[in-house]
Structure 1
Amino acid sequence: MNDLPFYLAAFAVVLGVLIVVHELGHYLAARWCGVKVLRFSVGFGRILCKKELGEDRTEWALSVFPLGGYVKMLDEREGDVAASEAHRAFNRQGVGKRSIIVAAGPLANFALAILLYWAIFMHGSEELLPLLGTPPDGSPAAMATIKNGEQVRHVDGEPVATWNDLRWLLLQKAVDRESVELEVVNERREIASHRLYLAAAGEQGWEGDALERLGIRFYRPDMPPVIGKVVAGGPGAKAGLQSGDRVLAIDGQPVARWMEFVAKVRDSAGRSLRLDLERVSGNVSVDVIPEAASERGRNVGKIGVAVAENPDSRREVRSFVSYGFFEAGRRALVETWDKSAFSLVMMGKMLTGEVSWKNLSGPVTIADYAGQSARLGLDYYLKFMALVSISLGVLNLLPIPVLDGGHLLYHMIEVVRRRPLSERAMEIGQQIGMSILISLMAFAFFNDLTRLFNG
């Protein structure tokens, strides 16, 4: 609960910036097209405060429901318009100008994402290298003979510089490809290739961690199972574990590496384990019960110990990555395009049933991610804002009445028919669109609550 104000503040900043940018797109396009703007509102419903500015005395307002906003323009369909200002009414504009005004909101969200990515790529950040860890037995990565410590250089010929690059490429390619070729280099600088089959990524409708289902894990050094720090008051300390103890076996099963020890402990929450230890004073056996801890929606066992430092096992796992002005701009454009296209593909797969609707997120989940990204640092927070801005742009371009994409659909029909749809037809469309939107919001909020209470 102590994090709640911070998370809400992080969410409010993201939401406020994206709403203002979106509506500012509509506002600036309307002004450019000669349409009079009556009100610019952040939020819906009853107006909390407002101020009139400019020659047109446009109302700049803050309204009670903050999940959105609107730009109200002069329109003969919504009230009386003086003859002297009729030429400035939205409905009097040609279909081209009306389409520009409508499309400007989502385009402003895409422009914001490009600018954010551009700044991030130019400034640079510490990134994890694309180092692979030991895959679980039976996973696609294990069957591809991936080994601990290998660094990915290319995925199907596309260069990979960071762990995020690797993750994003694999997610993209898992949507429509059966397999990819990973070109890797090991610690001895030997180059090898692995054929990784991707079908497992979407086995659960893309819910959860797709890379984990592929067996793609980040590198962990092959450390010997020697205990370093023991947390005071933890299960390990209570059982008598000491710094310097080497774990020989768990329940009679030999242990050769630290990660084997960790895996066994994590899978044994609440269950007693017999540890055979090598100690300076002589070999001993102790019983320890790992305490349960929630991690990514499931309970795992922990005993409050850390691995002993081993200088021979140290390896650089991070790199500072930055780009020049033009390369950063190119990457920002590609990043925005790729994530927009991926969003559309995943929405399509939701409609066909290939992707679970449980992946739909609402304000609670977005607020949670906003807080988490803000905790990690400014670059993570800005990347999150860019991603949500892209999602907002894509969502608003969907051909659903009440959304910008629905209005663009009306305009396309008008071009084909050479006359606008009747007001009755548009009214029916608005009702249908509102029903769809409310249903989606209700489903997203239900998913939020399910994640909140069920992990």
Structure 2
Amino acid sequence: MTALAGLFGSVTGEIVPFILILSLLVFVHEMGHYLVGRWSGIGVSVFSIGFGPELIGRTDRHGTRWKISLIPLGGYVKFYGDEDAASRPDLQKIEGLSPEERGRTFAGATLGRRAATVAAGPIANFLLAIVIFATLFSIYGRPVADPVVASVAPASAAERAGVKPGDLLLAIDGNPVQTFEDVRRYVSVRPEIPMTISLRRDGATVDVAITPERKEITDGFGNKTEVGQIGILTDDKAGKFRMVQYSVPEAVVQGTRECWNIVTSTFSYLGSVITGHMKADQLGGPIRVAQASGQMASIGVSALLQLAAVLSVSIGLLNLMPIPVLDGGHLFFYAVEAVRGRPLGPRTQEIAFRIGFAIVLTLMVFTTWNDITARFG
């Protein structure tokens, strides 16, 4: 009974924060589509948080059905004239509409209005992340340490490259670094990839060639991750650890930079996977996100909000991938339409949507398998 209660508590502690975070991110994403669509004169039939059978809902005076559905793993906005949640046009239905009604369908909108409506979802996710980061930075502040080396691990890549205690790191591969976290972020996703570090030593600038080593680290929750490391540490004296609190405008700038850092780190990681320098097993799905949600919730609200911001950027970025059924796939179709002067044929779009659905389903299966092996393997 005790073991069963412990399991129930563990599952509840993960699922509740996970559903709360995912619902927030989905709501903001779909609200971006909804607002820009409405502002563009496009009618909205359904706004759903979740998929499957409706649990609760109501219809507003504009004819939009707002509902919460059974499966809380996403959501959608269905516009007038759409056949399904993927915004495929119901051509037969549209043909039977009057010109005025056809103008309120998604398919009947101008190319610019359709593109703006689709792009608004991912943009809303990026804006949410910026707001969350800016709020955290302005209220709680941000831990900062100067990129000064306090010690060098024996037999490490840094020692072999000649890095010494007291060195101030200025740039990596020409990219300026301002904090020790900038160094960690850049190096961690580039194991076994040669790089050049510019540092200041005794008033002179020195460039050293260094190749991060692949290391497996374990965090405080027991999660194991492979990262690149060069073997340097800082401390209170060298790095001057401090909590920097920003004004609201400064926090917005820092929040925007943080989002950009997540985007660039994501692409760097994917590039390292493609080149074989990192494993794809770090790509996680809903199980890993649920686990991380529970872990962050156990730390506190600020940690949970920070995870929400990171996930919001990830959702925005994923949806911009040029895969049919995702927002990026629609935007790709619109780009082709702009070049050709007319949309792709229904048959071509149907085939593309089927391929896109297969890709997304394969990715979901792959990430879920990663989650299962990481947790139970």
In the alignment, what sits opposite 2:184?
167
Looking at secondary structure, tell me which structure has more helix per residue: 2
8 A contact 2:215–2:226 mirrored in 1: no
- Pairwise mapping of residues 283-322 of structure 1 onto structure 2 (< 5 A)? 318-322=241-245
Q: Is the 8 A contact 2:333 2:344 kept in 1?
A: yes
- Partner of 1:87 in structure 2? 103
Residue 74 (structure 2) pairs with residue 68 (structure 1): yes
1:119-268 map, 5 Å: 119-125=135-141, 127=143, 129-130=145-146, 132=149, 134-144=151-161, 150=166, 154-156=170-172, 158=176, 160-161=178-179, 163-171=180-188, 178-183=195-200, 197-201=209-213, 208-211=225-228, 213-217=229-233, 219=235
Contact 1:411–1:420 (Cα < 8 Å) also in 2:
yes
1:158 corresponds to which letter in structure 2? Answer: P
Q: Is the 8 A contact 2:284 2:367 kept in 1?
A: yes
Q: Cα 1:198–1:440, aligned 2, differ >3 Å: closer, same or farther?
A: farther
C-alpha contact (below 8 Å) 1:52/1:59 kept by paired residues = yes
Task: Give aligned-pair identity as a percent.
Answer: 32
Match of 1:356 among 274, 279, 295: 279
Deviation for aligned residue 1:215: 1.7
Gaps of 5+ in 1: 185-189, 221-313
Q: Which position in structure 2 is the counterpart of 1:398?
A: 321
Q: Compute the TM-score of the two structures, normalised by the length of structure 1.
A: 0.69
Structure 2 match to 1:307: none
Please tell me the residue identity of whatever aligns with 1:61. K
* Structure 1 letter corresponding to 2:156: S
| SS of aligned partner of 1:210 | strand
Pair 1:60–1:30, CA change in 2 (3 A): same
| Secondary structure in 2 matching 1:92 | coil
Instruction: Work out whether residues 54 and 70 of structure 2, in 8 Å CA contact, stay in contact via their aligned partners in 1.
Output: yes
In structure 1, distance between residues paired with 2:167 and 2:79? 56
Task: State the match for 2:334 in structure 1.
Answer: 411
CA pair 74-321 structure 1, distance change in 2 beyond 3 A: same
The one-letter amino acid of 1:329's match is V
Q: CA deviation at 1:192?
A: 8.2
Structure 1 residues 103 and 448: alpha-carbon distance in aligned structure 2, compared to 1, 3 A threshold:
same
Change (3 A) 1:318 1:13: farther
Q: Partners of 2:336 and 2:50 in 1: how far apart?
A: 30
AA aligned to 2:344 is L
Give the whole-Å Cα distance in 2 for the aligned partners of 1:437 and 1:396. 11
Taking the aligned partners of 1:412 and 1:175, their CA distance within structure 2 comes to 38
Question: What is the aligned residue count?
Answer: 350
Gaps of 5+ in 2: 1-6, 83-88, 217-223
TM-score by length of 2: 0.82
Give the aligned residue type for 2:117: I
Query: Which residue number in structure 2 is paired with residue 381 of structure 1?
Result: 304
Q: CA deviation at 1:109?
A: 0.5
| Structure with max Cα Rg | 1
SS in 1 for 2:153: coil
Decide whether aligned partners of structure 1 residues 59 and 151 sit closer, same or farther in structure 2, where only a CA change above 3 A counts: farther
CA contact (8 A) 1:118 1:332 kept: yes
1:187-243 C-alpha deviation (Å, 9 max, x unpaired): xxx878775644234689xx93425x32234549xxxxxxxxxxxxxxxxxxxxxxx
Residue number in structure 1 paired with 2:28: 21
1:354 is displaced (CA, Å) by: 4.2
2:98 aligned with 1:98: no
Question: Residues 218 and 447 of structure 1: is their aligned pair in 2 closer, same or farther, counting only changes over 3 Å?
Answer: farther
Residue in 2 aligned with 1:38? 45
* Distance 1:143-1:396 versus aligned 2 partners, 3 A rule: same
Matched position secondary structure for 2:269: helix
